[in-house]
Chains A and B, each alone.
Chain A
Amino acid sequence: GESVGLHLPTLSVQEGDNSIINCAYSNSASDYFIWYKQESGKGPQFIIDIRSNMDKRQGQRVTVLLNKTVKHLSLQIAATQPGDSAVYFCAENPPPGNQFYFGTGTSLTVIP
């Protein structure tokens, strides 16, 4: 049958505001998670990762929160800038292998 493209959730924020992007993962056994940023025409770019023994991890302007109870990840971007406009997606890694499963993605648009 014909393959239908996924409709990405979208988020628009004003420059300088904080952004929160959410991801529901599927495998309760997953023990490692990554957030990626993908700009148009480019490959995914690592933003931040978190292991399952943590609830929160902070980077430069970004924070990842992990809620294992409801299998939910969030990415918080502080003081969002126009250069943050991109598609953001999470990836999970269930043991024992090194195969990652990627989420659908959220399209973030920053309004100057």
Chain B
Amino acid sequence: EPEVTQTPSHQVTQMGQEVILRCVPISNHLYFYWYRQILGQKVEFLVSFYNNEISEKSEIFDDQFSVERPDGSNFTLKIRSTKLEDSAMYFCASNWGGPYNEQFFGPGTRLTVL
């Protein structure tokens, strides 16, 4: 069964460093999403991406964040200069038909900023 994959599973970085979180969405999906979940808190929407551009972003997704689909399979989230409060689980998700269709989530990347 197709699934969304994410790498790495755990990323440790120093404050101020750049990190890139990688996702491989399900191959025939057209819509891609990033979410984060700070430990013990709610899942929060970051950004949605369709047709090679951001379709929506939340207040969390400020200038420090960017997303890219560099090729036909990968979908990346870059945090330019990490802060302590960026420590969280980051989930990638994808679906084929936009918001009214089931989103398939990856297993997440745990980001720890020291």
Contact = CB atoms under 8 A, between A and B. Distances in A.
Interface of A: 3, 5-6, 32, 34, 41-46, 49, 51, 89, 91, 93, 97-105
A81 B44 CA distance: 29
A6 B41 contact: yes
Nearest to B92: A43
A32 B99 contact: yes
B63 to A, nearest CB: 19
B7 to A, nearest CB: 14
A44 B102 CA distance: 11
Interface residues of B, number: 27
B102 A46 contact: yes
Contacts, number: 60
A104 B42 contact: yes
Q: Which 5 residue pairs are nearest across A and B when measured between Cβ atoms?
A: A5-B40, A43-B105, A98-B99, A102-B43, A46-B102
Contacts of A100: 45, 99
26 contacts: A3-B38, A3-B85, A5-B39, A5-B40, A5-B41, A6-B40, A32-B99, A34-B103, A41-B107, A43-B91, A43-B93, A43-B105, A43-B107, A45-B105, A49-B102, A89-B43, A97-B55, A97-B56, A97-B99, A98-B99, A100-B45, A102-B42, A102-B45, A103-B42, A104-B42, A105-B42
Interface of A is mostly: loop
Contacts of A6: 40-42
A104 B4 CA distance: 24
Given A6-B42, A89-B43, 16 more contacts: A3-B38, A3-B85, A34-B103, A41-B107, A42-B107, A43-B91, A43-B105, A43-B107, A45-B105, A46-B102, A89-B42, A91-B43, A97-B55, A99-B48, A102-B42, A105-B42
